[in-house]
Structure 1
Amino acid sequence: MWRCSATVVLLTSVCLLAAGCVSQTVKSTSVPPINSPTETVADALLLDVGIAVFDPGLDEVPDDDEQPVYTEVRKAEARFMPNQVAQAMQQSGAWGAVRVVPDPERVSDLSVHGKILHSDGERIELQIQAIDSRGYEWLDKRYESHASSYAYRTTTRSTNDPFQAVYNTIANDLLQALQELRDIDRQNVRLVSELLFAQDFSPEAFEGYLARNPKDVYLVMRLPADNDPMLERVRTIRERDHMYIDTMQAYYDSFGEEMLGPYDEWRRLSYEEVIAMQELRAESRRRLIAGAVAVAAGIAGAANSDSYEQAAASNVAIIGGGYLLKSGLEKRNEAQIHVQALEEVGMSLESEITPQVIELEDRSITLQGSVDDQYAQWRSLLAEIYATEIGNLEQPEASADTL
Structure 2
Amino acid sequence: MANWKYLLQRVFVLSALLLLAACSTNRVTSTVVTPLEQQTAPVVESQLLDLAVLPFEPGLENIESDDTSVSPTVRTAEAQYLPNQLAATIQKTGAWGAVRLVPGKETVTEVYVAGKIVASNGETLALDITVTDSSNRHWYTKSYTETVGNYAYNRQNQLQRDPFQGLYNRIANDLLEYRQQMSSANVKKLRTIAELRFARDFSPEAFSDHIRETPGGQLEISRLPAENDPILQRIRQIRQRDYLFIDTMQEHYDAFTRRMDSPYQEWRAASYNELVALRELKRQSRNRTIGGVAAIIGGILASGSNSGSGRAAGAVAIGSGALLVKSGLSKRAELQIHEDTLAELAQSLEAEIEPRVIELEDRTITLTGNAAAQYAQWKTLLREIYQAERGGI
Q: TM-score, length-normalised on structure 2?
A: 0.90
With over 3 angstroms needed to count, the CA separation of the structure-2 counterparts of 1:247 and 1:287, relative to structure 1, is same
Q: Give the C-alpha shift of residue 262 in structure 1.
A: 1.3
Name the residue aligned to 2:149.
Answer: 148
| CA contact 1:10–1:321 (8 Å) conserved in 2 | no
Task: Give aligned-pair identity as a percent.
Answer: 46
| CA contact 2:355–2:367 (8 Å) conserved in 1 | no
CA distance in 2 between counterparts of 1:332 and 1:200 reads 59
* 1:14-49 CA-partner distances (Å, limit 9, x unpaired): 696599768644421211221122543311110000
Q: Give the C-alpha shift of residue 295 in structure 1.
A: 4.0
Name the residue aligned to 2:54.
Answer: 52
CA distance in 1 between counterparts of 2:198 and 2:317 reads 76
Name the residue aligned to 1:29.
Answer: 31
Q: How many residues are paired up?
A: 391
In the TM superposition, what are the counterparts of 1:68-217 in structure 2 within 5 Å? 68-154=69-155, 156-217=157-218
Q: Give the C-alpha shift of residue 353 in structure 1.
A: 2.3
1:383 aligns with 2:383: yes
Structure 1 residues 279-288 or 338-347, which shifts more?
A: 279-288
With over 3 angstroms needed to count, the CA separation of the structure-2 counterparts of 1:292 and 1:366, relative to structure 1, is same
With over 3 angstroms needed to count, the CA separation of the structure-2 counterparts of 1:314 and 1:352, relative to structure 1, is same
Q: Secondary structure, in 3 states, of the residue corresponding to 1:73?
A: helix
* 1:237-282 CA-partner distances (Å, limit 9, x unpaired): 2211111111111121222112111111111111111111111112
With over 3 angstroms needed to count, the CA separation of the structure-2 counterparts of 1:260 and 1:155, relative to structure 1, is farther
* 1:147-202 CA-partner distances (Å, limit 9, x unpaired): 22122233554421101001111100110111110000000111111112222223
CA distance in 2 between counterparts of 1:100 and 1:22 reads 41
Structure 1 residues 73-82 or 203-212, which shifts more?
A: 203-212
CA distance in 1 between counterparts of 2:129 and 2:70 reads 20
Structure 1 residues 230-239 or 243-252, which shifts more?
A: 230-239
Name the residue aligned to 1:399.
Answer: none
Q: Give the C-alpha shift of residue 10 in structure 1.
A: 4.0
Structure 2: tracts of 5 or more residues without a match: none
With over 3 angstroms needed to count, the CA separation of the structure-2 counterparts of 1:132 and 1:300, relative to structure 1, is farther
| CA contact 1:3–1:309 (8 Å) conserved in 2 | no
CA distance in 1 between counterparts of 2:226 and 2:366 reads 39
Name the residue aligned to 2:242.
Answer: 241
Q: Give the C-alpha shift of residue 339 in structure 1.
A: 0.9
Name the residue aligned to 1:220.
Answer: 221
In the TM superposition, what are the counterparts of 1:253-292 in structure 2 within 5 Å? 253-292=254-293
Look up the equivalent residue of 1:147 and give its one-letter code.
V
Q: Secondary structure, in 3 states, of the residue corresponding to 1:58?
A: coil
Name the residue aligned to 2:324.
Answer: 324
| CA contact 1:52–1:113 (8 Å) conserved in 2 | yes
Name the residue aligned to 1:397.
Answer: none
| CA contact 1:3–1:314 (8 Å) conserved in 2 | no
Look up the equivalent residue of 1:384 and give its one-letter code.
E
| CA contact 1:117–1:125 (8 Å) conserved in 2 | yes
Name the residue aligned to 1:42.
Answer: 44
Q: Secondary structure, in 3 states, of the residue corresponding to 1:226?
A: coil
Name the residue aligned to 1:340.
Answer: 340
Q: Give the C-alpha shift of residue 211 in structure 1.
A: 2.0
Q: Secondary structure, in 3 states, of the residue corresponding to 2:30?
A: coil
| CA contact 1:10–1:320 (8 Å) conserved in 2 | no
Q: Secondary structure, in 3 states, of the residue corresponding to 2:365?
A: coil
CA distance in 1 between counterparts of 2:292 and 2:314 reads 13
Name the residue aligned to 1:252.
Answer: 253
| CA contact 1:50–1:112 (8 Å) conserved in 2 | yes
| CA contact 1:7–1:313 (8 Å) conserved in 2 | no
| CA contact 2:146–2:167 (8 Å) conserved in 1 | yes
Structure 1: tracts of 5 or more residues without a match: 394-403
| CA contact 1:291–1:321 (8 Å) conserved in 2 | yes
Q: Secondary structure, in 3 states, of the residue corresponding to 1:205?
A: helix
Look up the equivalent residue of 2:52 and give its one-letter code.
G
Look up the equivalent residue of 1:251 and give its one-letter code.
H
CA distance in 2 between counterparts of 1:261 and 1:320 reads 47
Structure 1 residues 149-158 or 139-148, which shifts more?
A: 149-158
Look up the equivalent residue of 1:352 and give its one-letter code.
E
CA distance in 1 between counterparts of 2:368 and 2:277 reads 42
| CA contact 1:3–1:313 (8 Å) conserved in 2 | no
Look up the equivalent residue of 1:30 and give its one-letter code.
V
| CA contact 1:144–1:166 (8 Å) conserved in 2 | yes
CA distance in 2 between counterparts of 1:79 and 1:111 reads 15
CA distance in 2 between counterparts of 1:294 and 1:379 reads 72
| CA contact 2:103–2:371 (8 Å) conserved in 1 | yes
CA distance in 2 between counterparts of 1:245 and 1:156 reads 37
